[in-house]
Structure 1
Amino acid sequence: MFSKRKGSKSVHVDLDTFDVNWDLTDAEFGSSPEPIRSFFVGLVFNGDMVLLIGDKENKSLTDSMCLLKREHVFGGKVYGTKAKFKDDGRVHDVEIECDAFGLDDPRLVVRLDGKVVMQVKHLVWKFRGNDKILVDGVHVEVYWDVHNWLFGSINGSAVFMFRTCLVGGASVDLSQSLGFCLTLYAWKNE
């Protein structure tokens, strides 16, 4: 499907229509075939945007927010990226710091725009877990799995997920409940 660098494709299944739009003309790639910036892929189901991946603006999709961002980050102790957790929110610097090697009691620190928003102490016992933070008035669930860093390969990856969540009950309609999800695969360069 992506033999062209930019395009769209419609698929009809029974009474449903799937539209895929993509633009990889300016895409930048890292060490994998997955683009890391300056691209977008959008999926529209029966006229409703259900998935938008990437950071490149598309004039036909300007009212939509990026719903999913997956990124591989590399470092020794600090890993960072940028993310926007709310349509009308601002872009934040997200930084994860974890110095797990050679310490009796390693800890994990998450910063937004340089401010500590979450700390996990006793990481040897809490190598997988979750917590909630508040960003731009929106609750964001933070999940982490640093098992490979602590007990696996020294060059293994850890996984971090930041997912917006709405507080409320069944009165929230589906379009409002589609939140943003940032997944980071953090690789140690040692």
Structure 2
Amino acid sequence: MKRKFSTFCKDASAIAVFNPLPLVPASRSASVSPLLPNASASLVPLFPAPSDGDHHVTSPAPPTSLQTRNNWVYETALLNHRHLTTTLSWYTTPTGRRQLLVGLHVIGGDDPLSLFKYNVCINPSVPEQNRGQELTQYESSQIAVFWDFSRVKYDTGLEPVDGFFLLVLVDSQAAFLLGDVPEQCSTVFQALGFTLVSQAECALSCKNGRLHGIEARLTGKGPFKDVLIQCRGMETEDLEKCTVLYVHIGKELVLKVRKLHWNFRGMQTKVLADGLEVEIAWDVQAWLFREEKSDAKGKKNPPEFATFAFMTQHGSSIFHC
């Protein structure tokens, strides 16, 4: 790619096979291969037959529409004990257009408990939107996202294989870069090391634009673990009283959160029947309060992610949806 870099300066269920990948440091070179690692994820029917009682998994309603989505999660160590998590969600809209939702999360800074979120929606199929940049600020740091998908090429998957680049700068340092990054970046910007944390292939089914479930299979150095996450009561008008979050690992109910409207974010530690200790963190604010908002220029902001993290002695598994 020879362009000058300066020119760019509410019911649903999801079925997924989730494969946490080893932490492989990305190249510090300015030219990063656009080919993503090919994880062995494949869609499988994990929901068991319906049964009664809170201690058993219940199957969600049959889906009304399906959308395949591939999620890739990367992590970058920033200065001042901060970490940047970059989530790439590749998918195809019901009209057949390929889209990319980029989610940026910064943890740490002046307040160790602070959390910064920023999302960018890229439409490679739309000429007016396949090149651009977005700028924002977190505390004293300047964050910039640059992209060019004007010559993008696809194979059979959702991710492009050539003719594109995506670059995230934090205080003029390349915190994340992917694709055919311009050669000028190697001399202008210092590249920070980032790692691929996890990858998940999902099939999302939506009725009213609200998610209420995720099914995943956690893998890694330890044994396989089937995970079912359900948010019941989303179909009611009184979300404040009726919503309950259930998390099953295998056939064990390991987490039940009532009044989710007030407890949409939290963390708990559970010990499974086989003795495995699991720390579960959740943030479903986006599921409960998802609204179409616009900025001062009338541009619609992209949707936010709900986040789940499962941490064991074998490693961490992160899922954004």
With normalisation by structure 1, the TM-score equals: 0.52
Q: Distance in 2 between matches of 1:145 and 1:10?
A: 31
Alignment of 1:1-190 (within 5 A): 26=38, 31=91, 68-71=197-200, 73=202, 74-75=204-205, 76-84=211-219, 87=221, 89-101=222-234, 102=236, 103=238, 104-135=241-272, 136-153=274-291, 156-165=304-313, 179-186=314-321
> What is the RMSD of the two structures over their aligned residues, measured on CA atoms?
4.1
Structure 2 residue aligned with 1:168: none
Shift of 1:157: 2.8
Would you say the 8 A contact 1:72–1:184 is kept in 2? Answer: no
Structure with bigger strand share is 1
When residues 128 and 26 of structure 1 are mapped into structure 2, their CA distance, relative to the original with a 3 A threshold, is closer
Structure 1 counterpart SS, 2:288? helix
CA contact (8 A) 1:80 1:94 kept: yes
- Separation in structure 2 between the aligned mates of residue 130 and residue 159 of structure 1, nearest angstrom: 12
d(CA) in 1 for partners of 2:290, 2:36:
35
Report the CA distance between 1:84 and its aligned residue.
2.9
Tell me how far apart the structure 1 counterparts of residues 320 and 199 of structure 2 sit (CA, whole Å): 8
In structure 2, the gaps of 5 or more residues are 1-25, 29-34, 42-69, 71-89, 92-98, 103-156, 159-193, 206-210, 293-302
SS of residue paired to 1:126:
coil
Question: SS in structure 2 opposite 1:149?
Answer: helix
Structure 1 residue 26, shift from structure 2 partner: 5.0
The verdict on how the C-alpha distance between 1:140 and 1:52 changes in structure 2, with shifts beyond 3 A counting, is farther
Percent sequence identity over matched residues? 25
Gaps of 5+ in 1: 1-8, 12-22, 37-50, 54-67, 166-178
> Which residue type is aligned with residue 305 of structure 2?
S
Larger Cα-atom Rg: 2
Task: Describe the SS at the equivalent of 2:287.
Answer: helix
Deviation at 1:125, TM superposition (A): 1.2
Query: 2:38, 2:198 → 1: CA distance?
Result: 18
Q: Offset of 1:134 from its aligned partner?
A: 2.1
Task: Find the aligned partners of 1:151 and 1:10 in 2 and give their Cα distance.
Answer: 38
Specify the code of the residue in structure 2 equivalent to 1:111: H
1:157 alignment partner, SS class? coil
Report how far residue 153 of structure 1 moved: 2.9
Quote how far apart the aligned CAs of 1:92 are: 1.3
Counterpart-to-counterpart distance in 1, 2:37 and 2:285: 37
Residue matched to 1:40: none
State the 1:10 CA deviation: 8.0
Task: Specify which structure has the bigger relative contact order, considering alpha-carbon pairs within 8 angstroms and separated by 6 or more residues.
Answer: 2
